[in-house]
Amino acid sequence: MKNAYIPTKNPRFSLRFAVPEDAALVVSFMKKLGTYQKMLEHITATEEDLTKLLAERRGEAIFGDYDGETIGFIYFYQNSSAFTGQSGLYIDGFLVDTSFRGGGLGRIMLAFMSKLALERGCRRVEWGCLDWNDQAIKFYRSMGAYSVDEMTVFRFAPDQLKKTADLF
């Protein structure tokens, strides 16, 4: 099963939603992202994991294709906030191949995500960015994004998740 291409303002660049059969491509892009972020060892997702997430619509992805070559992706999911009473889209992975950066393709992809969020009744799109990634921070700020600096993200990893659950 393949999805239709979504045209953009750049006639050489189109978007498409991932289908479960694209799981290997999502994993491939996550590994590229992990390499860029100097965190490849933390990318543990498998093709099986992503196939399940995409099939169950617990996660979604879009790909950016330039002249028929897939050069970018965004992996995301819908979330909500009890603080604001609003839903949003959370971008968990976003990458445009290095040789295609600076040409406005990432801007097009974020514009699409904003449009998609509004179409789904969401009031925000959010994502994380590593503190050292000055190039990305500058890009996001140039688009009008702001950072939420007064918060530290905490997480239970799988082993600790089990230990904590066992306390119940």
The amino acid at residue 47 is E
The amino acid at residue 28 is S
Phi, psi of 146 (to 5 degrees): -125, 160
State the catalytic residue, choosing from 66, 75, 77, 140. 140
User: How far is the C-alpha of 81 from the C-alpha of 22, rounded, in Å?
Assistant: 30
Percentages of the chain per state (helix, strand, coil), in multiples of 5: 40, 25, 35
User: Has 140 been annotated as catalytic?
Assistant: yes
Nearest to 142 by CA among 89, 90, 91, 102: 102
164 and 156 Cβ atoms separated by less than 8 Å: yes
Residue with tokens 């609003």: 86
User: How far is the C-alpha of 88 from the C-alpha of 107, rounded, in Å?
Assistant: 19
Residues involved in catalysis? 140
